[in-house]
Every structure is written in C-alpha cells, then in structure tokens.
Amino acid sequence: MSVVSNAGPLIALARIERLDLLVAVYGEVVIPPTVYREVSHENLPGGAIVARAEWLQVRHVDNQTAVQRLRFWLDAGESEAIVLAQQLGSALLIDERRGRGIATALGLRVTGAIGMLIAAKQRGFVSSVTPLLDALITHGVRLSPRLYREAQKVTDEA
C-alpha cells in the first residue's frame, strides 16, 4: 500500500527520529515537489534524512488547475498532496484539520501521524504508542489531550 504525505507528519516523525515507521507501515511514501522542498531543508529536524531518503518518491502533480482551486483554502503543499493522492488513488497522510476535512470531502482515505503510529503498533512495528506520543509533545508537536487519550484507548494503553 502506498501513501501520499503532506509535510506535517513527515516533520513530526522526523522530530522523534521515527521516519522508518512510514516505510514499515506503508511501503511506498510519495510526496509532491512542494512538500519535498518544505521538508528537505538541512536546518529542519530530519531534513537531511528526508533529502537522502531512497524510500521517498517525489512525483509531480498533473492537474495544476485542481491545485490552484484548493489554494484558496490551503497552502501549496497541502493542495498538491491532496491532488496527488487523488491522481494516484492513494491514501493521504495529513495532520492539518482544514486539509483533512477537504480531503475527506473529496473522498480520500485520510490519516495523520497519530493514525500512522496506531497502525504501526497494530502491525507490530512498535510495542507502545504512548512513549512516541510523549516524544512528539516533548519535541513541540501539538497534540490535543483528547487525541492523546483516544490513541491510547485504541491501542489498549489507556
């Protein structure tokens, strides 16, 4: 299974040095060029890893008209990621609320960094999500208490 990712989940997972889980869970991770530019800076956590990642595929978006329509509500990376997921028939990995809502309304299968961590536990790639959730918070990733508790509940860690 492949997934198209927006920048947010890549940055969050890079901050806790767990980009490896993306490959474990999805096999193929695809991003549009704008997202690549956003996440591959040397000064970003994990930026150098992303820039050299052989498992990460950068694909161009064919329908630039659709991207421009979404730009009214979303930034360039989110817009390209949504249209690329439509183009490839892939799931979309995105954390931003507005982008998730639009992608869902367009019929895409949507998950975020926390959903990916839950999937990693369910598939046996990690033994617990709680330390990963705590690490995300420690490294400045905003995570609501409700989502934190829900992730623990779903993974039987509550």
**For residue range 69-82, what is the model confidence (pLDDT) as tens digits?**
999 999 999 999 99
pTM of the model: 0.92
Q: Per residue in 87-136, pLDDT tens?
A: 999 999 999 999 999 999 999 999 999 999 999 999 999 999 999 999 99
Look at residues 73, 72, 106 and name the one whose alpha carbon lies nearest to residue 4.
106
Cα–Cα distance for residue pair 34/42, rounded to 1 Å: 16
Phi-psi region of 141 (alpha: psi -120 to 50; beta: other; left: phi over 0): beta
Q: Is 136 a member of any domain?
A: no
Q: How many domains does the chain have?
A: 1
- Sign (positive/negative) of CA torsion 33, 35, 41, 45? negative
With a pLDDT cut of 70, the percent of the chain lying above it is 99
Q: Is 120 a member of any domain?
A: no
| Domain range for 6 | 2-114
Q: Is 13 a member of any domain?
A: yes
- Sign (positive/negative) of CA torsion 59, 64, 69, 73? positive
Helix 113-122 × helix 7-15 angle, to 10°: 60
Q: Is 148 a member of any domain?
A: no
